[in-house]
Chain A
């Protein structure tokens, strides 16, 4: 399933991550998943939240740069080889994965993943066609 992820630019100073997360908490936004990519001089915080529009507005008002991107959320079997099945499908279709991160999910027996790929529509179609369980948007936005 294609979902919206928010990417936040974080300058390399103590407290920047905390300030962003705090702003979201105060606005009543719940974070479903997050990943932090770090370069030497800055970081990018990637977030899946239950209310993307409110979150984007809140962060923009707090003076940080936020952009929304389309990423894929999927549930895979929480067992050995579960990830391999999915990754093989994408590799065979020559879809490039830019990054991925896992969510700690509450869906029994499933591992939830967020993937950024170069062609989200194509990847989504392939995953839907092949074996992947459709996930309930409510599961991903409010894990």
Chain B
């Protein structure tokens, strides 16, 4: 009898555990179901739909009317000189912005990380521009780059007659690079600063004792230990700059000009989809090409960073 009572007790506890597990299964689904519903419709489905649409010619006036064209959109987009121009602009933009902002962010982070007065102030000040809207920043910079603007006034004080910046095909893209670096260098600095503060101080003390000078300490200790952060900063930079659009749109007043000098890849895709007739499928194909480029570049740089880390 005594044994029986024990058995019953065991059964009830396992029974309630099993019931709780059963309940959990349903609770789990209930917790995720509403979110998953929207996620499937507005995130997962559009990805597949986007790939699917790149194989069709879509009627601009009746979007539901489409015709299977296979890979024709891809051959069209890859043969379009405007797409080549847009990709070249994007690559140039990306290269200069990512390189300059990464180096600048590292330099600033190392400077803020010294025992100096006002380091919190500097961190906040550098971060601040990244919270404002890209459209607003572009408008403010249009005024800075204006003939009567701040930049050309500053140049005139040292006797240089500034160019017309955004109206000159040679300087329009560099002007947008400048405002992009101005916006994001501070954010990247915050990432570097967090990583710098995690480096144990005893490593530097040991190096100083061994007689390493500040440059050796930077290149032998700081830089190698920051490799994961550099990878992250470069990846974020590449993904962001490869999709630059808002600034180019506002600065060129929606034209991508002068002389297509500010036509970026996303800008091109936008124009194909919404400014040309019957080229929505071409736009979808352009987006797939850009996706492949971004994934490839990210993988290549992951490979480079990994081999460096092994060293």
Same complex: no
Q: Which residues of A contact B (CB under 8 A)?
A: none
Q: Which residues of B contact A (CB under 8 A)?
A: none
